[in-house]
Every structure is written in C-alpha cells, then in structure tokens.
C-alpha cells in the first residue's frame, strides 16, 4: 500500500486544494483496502454515494481551476483509477512472504472451533457452532407429526430446513434477512446434505425440522451451518449413518488456503466448500463458484477434506463428552 489515508481524508469536504491524482488515488486504494479488511462488502448504496461525492468534488475542483476541461480530467482520472484497482486486486497480498495470512494463520491452519450443545430449551436438539468469528445456532425439532398432511411420506421422514441470517450478523445491518435467493439456496443445500446422512426410513410418516441461523458472519457460514446442524441432529437423538462435517478451502496467491474468512472469501478467488461423511469417506456436498485447473482443484479439495476430518474429530469429542455427562448425571 502506498500510503494509508484515513476515511476523513477520502470523504473530506474540500478536495480542491489538492491535485486530482493525490485526491483520487488514495480514495481507491483505501476503497480496495476497505474491501479487503472490513467484515462486510460495500453495498450498492454506499458506492453510489461515494460516486456522487466524487462528482461533486470534481465540480468544485473545476470551479477553482478553470483552465482544465472537465471531460479530460474525468477521462484521465478514470483510466488511472481502473488501472490502479486492477493492479491492486492482483497485488493484494493474502499470504505474506513469511507464509502468514491476513488474520495470522498459516495457509493450512483452521480457525478456532467452539461448540456447545443444548442451547435452545424447547428444541429436541440444538447447538451453537463457532469457527473463528463465524457463529451459527441450529435447532432441531422432531421427528414429529407432519404438519402438512399432503407432504407426508409413508416410507420415510420428511426433512425440512430453514436457513436465515440475523440482521446483526454482518458489518452492515441487513434489511431483509429472510426469503432472498441466497438463503433459499443455502437452505436447500443444507437440507440435501443432512438428508443424505439421516436414516429417514426409520421414522416414516414424521417430519424433522432444522432451523439454522447465522449470528456472526465471517466467511464459511455454509460450512458452519452444516456442522451446527449435525451437532443438533445428534443431540436430538436422530439416527444417522455418520456425521456430516463441512469445511471450505480456497486458492489465492497460488497457495491453497484452508477455511477462508470473509476477507479471503470476498477476494473473488475460487472457494471450494465440501461436506463429507468421515467414517464412510464419502462426499455429500461439493460447491465451487470459480474455475480451477484440475490438479490444483484436487489439492484444494484434499485440503478441505482434511479440514472436515479435523472438524469431525472435534464434533465426536464434544458429543461423547456430552453423552457421558448425561449418563452419569442421570445415575441409576
């Protein structure tokens, strides 16, 4: 980064006393920086506002220096800015020369895991799962009577899932937390993943509801949701073939990175989320929204699978500790 300019400087009232380049470049460098370091994206509204500021700044600049024509300034400035952004995005350093990531982890290091069972009193099973700053709560109700009779299945249980993000989960407060396409898609993903491991044929004519909510979003919410749902299902005593555990991995700066956080996630690089059944060694979920050469993809996926296994080990520990507690407390 050439120079660290504060926000006050960027959105300052009087840009006129500075030459155009000195005013614009820091703005965009720190814009890119914002993208890289803040926990939330700049939404459309904000960037529009900054655009307006830009124009108004330009006008006042023109008023003071009338000898330069506005179109020329705009043209040169925009060209320079876009070049600069491109360079910045390419140069953005996600892995330092010392081999450390932005949050200080090694490339193959996972964030700290934390799980708690039995957090919702009324639910049959519930859990909170944390991966670093990502925090997800899951509650399972059921197996219970099917609410909508027409959906009842006579040979297996009906699994339903609802994913939502709390309004306060992101840096910018969310306006419409429910019913958008993203959460519908993730609900579906979680439902399909969990259905693959629940022994639904043992609970015919009943329904299992899984509710997951993101309390803090810092990348990898999808994985955290699946892990939390697994814990909650196990707590509810629902028979499963195996745990499903999920973890993501990415590829930035020609390095495979395990368990991306928000900054790395929003870098726009490939992000592979996988869900595996560790004991059966099977994959139930694989998502990637970018292109990767096959050999690199294999590496990245291998890394994510290793992460899943580590998570499975942790979940197993938590669950067996919980069972032991319940049993000795019950006595008899």
Partner 1 sequence: MRGLKLPLTQTQKVRLQRALEKLEALSTKANSNASVAIADTIPVNYEDGFLKGHGTTELNGEVVATVCGVVERVNKLVYVRTLRARYKPEVGDIIVGRVIEVAPKRWRLDINYSQDAVLMLSSINLPDGIQRRRTAEDELNMRAIFEENDVICAEVRGFQHDGLHLQARSQKYGKLQRGQLLSIPSYLVKRRKQHWHYLDEYGIDLILGCNGFVWVGEHVETKDEMLVDQADKPDSQTSKTNDHSTSLEGQEQTYTPLETRQNICRIANAIRVLSMLGFVVTIEVVMEVVNLGVSQNMDTHEMLGSEFCVLVAEREAERRSQKKNKG
Nearest to 229 by CA among 244, 248, 216: 244
DSSP code of 211? E
Residue placing its CB nearer to partner 1 in the complex, 206 or 255: 206
With binding defined as CB under 8 A, does residue 9 bind partner 1? Answer: no
**Using alpha carbons only, how large is the chain's radius of gyration in Å?**
25
Q: Does 276 bind partner 1 (CB under 8 A)?
A: no
CA distance 18 to 126: 58
147 is a site residue for partner 1 (CB under 8 A)? no
Binding of partner 1 by 282 (CB under 8 A): no
Residue count, binding to partner 1 (CB under 8 A): 42
- Is residue 321 close enough to count as binding partner 1 by CB under 8 A? yes
The token pair that represents 313 in the structure block: 């080990």
Longest dimension (CA), the chain: 93
3-state SS, one letter per residue, for 103-158: CCCCCCCCCCEEEEECCCCCCCEEEEEEECCEEEEEEEEEEEECCCHHHCCCCCCE
Closer to partner 1 by CB, 118 or 177: give it: 118
**Nearest CA among 85, 89, 29, 86 for reference residue 269:** 89
Nearer to partner 1 by Cβ, of 38 and 241: the residue is 241
Contact between 288 and partner 1 by CB under 8 A: the answer reads: no
275 interacts with partner 1 by CB under 8 A:
no
From residue 159 to residue 188, the character string flagging contacts with partner 1 as x (rule: CB under 8 A) and all else as - is ------------------------------
Residues numbered 185-244 forming contacts with partner 1, rule: CB under 8 A: 199, 203, 205-206, 234-243
CB of 56 to partner 1, least distance (A): 53
Which residues in this chain contact partner 1 in the complex, by CB under 8 A?
Answer: 116-118, 124-125, 142-145, 199, 203, 205-206, 234-243, 278-280, 316, 318-332
């Amino acid at each position: 980064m050439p120079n660290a300019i504060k926000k006050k400087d960027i959105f300052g009232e009087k840009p006129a006393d500075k030459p155009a380049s000195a005013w614009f470049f820091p703005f965009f460098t720190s814009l890119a920086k914002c993208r890289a370091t803040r926990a939330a994206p700049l939404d459309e509204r904000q960037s529009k506002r900054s655009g307006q500021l830009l124009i108004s700044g330009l006008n006042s600049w023109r008023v003071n220096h009338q000898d330069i024509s506005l179109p020329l300034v705009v043209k040169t400035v925009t060209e320079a800015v876009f070049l600069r952004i491109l360079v910045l995005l390419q140069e953005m350093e996600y892995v330092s020369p010392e081999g450390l990531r932005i949050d200080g982890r090694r490339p193959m290091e996972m964030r700290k895991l934390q799980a708690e069972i039995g957090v919702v009193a009324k639910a049959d099973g519930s859990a909170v799962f944390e991966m670093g700053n990502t925090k997800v709560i899951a509650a399972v109700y059921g197996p219970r009577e099917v609410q909508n009779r027409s959906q009842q299945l006579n040979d297996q249980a009906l699994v339903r899932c609802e994913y939502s993000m709390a309004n306060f989960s992101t840096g910018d407060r969310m306006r419409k937390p429910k019913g958008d396409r993203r959460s519908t898609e993730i609900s579906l993903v979680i439902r399909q993943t969990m259905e693959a491991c629940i022994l639904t044929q043992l609970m015919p004519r009943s329904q299992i509801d899984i509710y997951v909510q993101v309390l803090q979003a810092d990348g990898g919410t999808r994985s955290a949701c699946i892990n939390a749902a697994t814990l909650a299902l196990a707590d509810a005593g629902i028979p499963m073939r195996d745990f499903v555990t999920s973890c993501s991995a990415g590829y930035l700066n020609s390095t495979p990175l395990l368990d991306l956080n928000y900054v790395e996630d929003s870098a726009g690089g490939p992000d592979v989320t996988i869900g595996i059944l560790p004991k059966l060694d099977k994959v139930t979920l694989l998502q990637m929204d970018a292109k990767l050469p096959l050999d690199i993809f294999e590496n990245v996926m291998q890394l994510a699978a290793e992460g899943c296994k580590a998570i499975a080990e942790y979940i197993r520990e938590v669950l067996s500790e919980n069972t032991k507690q319940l049993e000795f407390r019950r006595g008899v």
